[in-house]
Structure 1
Amino acid sequence: MPESWLTPIDSYCERLGPGFWAEPLNAVTNAAFIAAALYALVLWRRAGARDWPALWLIAVTFVVGTGSFLFHTFANRWSLLADVLPIAVFIYSYFLLAMRRYLSLGLVAAIAVMVLFAAFNMSFGRLWLGILPGLTLNGSVGYVPAALALFAVGIVCRVSDAREAGRALLTAACVFALSLLFRSIDDTVCTRMPAGTHFLWHVLNALMLGLLLKAAIVHSSRKSPTHVQG
């Protein structure tokens, strides 16, 4: 493995050294993602239908928690990829599912809209920093397009036939916005809160993913929601 992949990364308030447990709260709160995945798996089994897209999202959520744990313990370049890549996979996978399942787009149309979203997502950072060069949100700018998309799709669902799915997406979007706030202020509050606030990003993000997974499972049928206890 090239040595550059082992280059240490110190991005968060809680980390004071290179040790494996130098970010204890940031590390252990990744268990919330595992809990969200297990909760969704229970719902998936209770629903009875073999909803493979939802099961894929559940598996990705488990990998998100694992990858984030690796990053907040090893804290180097290879573990950064283990952190961000599963998140990207979840974002695009869920976006595609939302286009198909909630908005009832055909496969080609859904993929086309997803490609447009991907183009917007990849260009957003340059656009943002071009307009607001000093406002980096502590590295959170890259997540803003996902939050905007979640709000937008939720609103479209609310004014279409997928009103209940829209309610779930908008609730998840509000949780996501709050989690982004805590991610963004981690460095700002560091002198007053030595542990920082990044761990709250994990907890709230896990809650958001749990809400999104439940919505996907409950609305596995385009005709009528599935009643699932939980």
Structure 2
Amino acid sequence: MTDYVDGYCERVAPGLWGEPLNSLSNLAFLVATVLVWRLAAGDRTGRLLAGLIGLVFVASTVFHLLATRWAAVADSGAILVFALVYAVVFVREYWSRRWAWVAAPAFLVLTAATALLGGGLYLSALIGLGVFTAVLAFRRDAYWTHFAVAGAIFALSLSLRTLDRDVCDYVPVGTHFLWHLLNGLVLYLVSRPIVLSGRR
């Protein structure tokens, strides 16, 4: 688990500061954490989401600083925990408190299925955003636009993440840092409606 991981254009050798852009761009998650925390103003669900975004910030920063396999697992794990909790929170808020618990295992099954079909670990999140957008649009909830925009931004960020290793010869720093910057915005956009809906 302490094996060295060289998975991005920017990293060319071991070392704590081998990925400066990938490390610093994680500040986008910290900004999202602070914004959601302040917006929550004591709302427990909002504070929970803010805390989980903060966990993503810590885990991703540690991974891009240390570049070890255990840190990579922690990074992916933090993202997965946010996604699972968010799925439950969304279903509880917009569909049914009784069936909210089903959202987490359903998302795990979707993630496993997309991964086995070659779609990676994050395609399920993009599909989820599409479903959330459709649900809110059908309910004529004004916040459906937040999810539509978040889905479009996430599709772009996922494309940039995928392209990182393919553009190394042309863009030595790669494109992974843009994945962080855009996803900080995505996490804020999907958290905001939950907090504001709770106030309603």
Deviation at 1:114, TM superposition (A): 3.2
Deviation at 1:82, TM superposition (A): 2.0
Deviation string, structure 1 residues 109-164 (Cα, Å, up to 9, x no partner): 222243222212112211x23xxxxxx7xxxx210011111111111111115x22
Find out whether 1:42 has 2:38 as its counterpart. Answer: yes
Preserved CA contact (<8 Å) 2:87 2:103: no
Deviation at 1:29, TM superposition (A): 0.5
Matches of 2:105 and 2:18, distance apart in 1: 39
Q: Which structure 2 residues correspond to residues 129-140 of structure 1 after superposition, within 5 A?
A: 129=118
Matches of 1:119 and 1:180, distance apart in 2: 20
Structure 2 alignment gaps of length 5 or more: none
Matches of 1:43 and 1:106, distance apart in 2: 23
> TM-score scaled by structure 1?
0.83
> TM-score scaled by structure 2?
0.95
Deviation at 1:81, TM superposition (A): 2.0
Deviation at 1:217, TM superposition (A): 1.1
Task: Give 1:55's match in structure 2, choosing from 33, 37, 47.
Answer: 47
Q: Find runs of 4+ consecutive structure 1 residues off by over 4 angstroms.
A: none
2:91 alignment partner AA: M
1:170 alignment partner AA: A
Deviation at 1:51, TM superposition (A): 1.9
Matches of 2:103 and 2:173, distance apart in 1: 40
Q: Which structure 2 residues correspond to residues 52-91 of structure 1 after superposition, within 5 A?
A: 52-91=44-83
Deviation at 1:212, TM superposition (A): 1.3
Task: Give 1:215's match in structure 2, choosing from 168, 175, 193.
Answer: 193
3-state DSSP class of the match of 1:174?
helix
Deviation at 1:171, TM superposition (A): 1.3
Deviation at 1:76, TM superposition (A): 0.5
Of the two, which has the highest radius of gyration?
Answer: 1
Find out whether 1:205 has 2:183 as its counterpart. Answer: yes
Residue in structure 2 matched with residue 117 of structure 1 by the alignment: 107
Count of equivalent residues: 200
Matches of 1:198 and 1:122, distance apart in 2: 23
Matches of 1:88 and 1:178, distance apart in 2: 19
Matches of 2:88 and 2:158, distance apart in 1: 22
Residue in structure 2 matched with residue 29 of structure 1 by the alignment: 25
Task: Give 2:96's match in structure 1, choosing from 105, 118, 121.
Answer: 105
2:130 alignment partner AA: F
Deviation string, structure 1 residues 38-73 (Cα, Å, up to 9, x no partner): 11112122xxxx321221110010110110010001
Task: Give 2:7's match in structure 1, choosing from 2, 6, 11.
Answer: 11
Residue in structure 2 matched with residue 145 of structure 1 by the alignment: 124
Deviation at 1:8, TM superposition (A): 0.3
Matches of 1:216 and 1:209, distance apart in 2: 11
Preserved CA contact (<8 Å) 2:32 2:184: yes
Structure 1 alignment gaps of length 5 or more: 130-135, 225-230
1:196 alignment partner AA: G
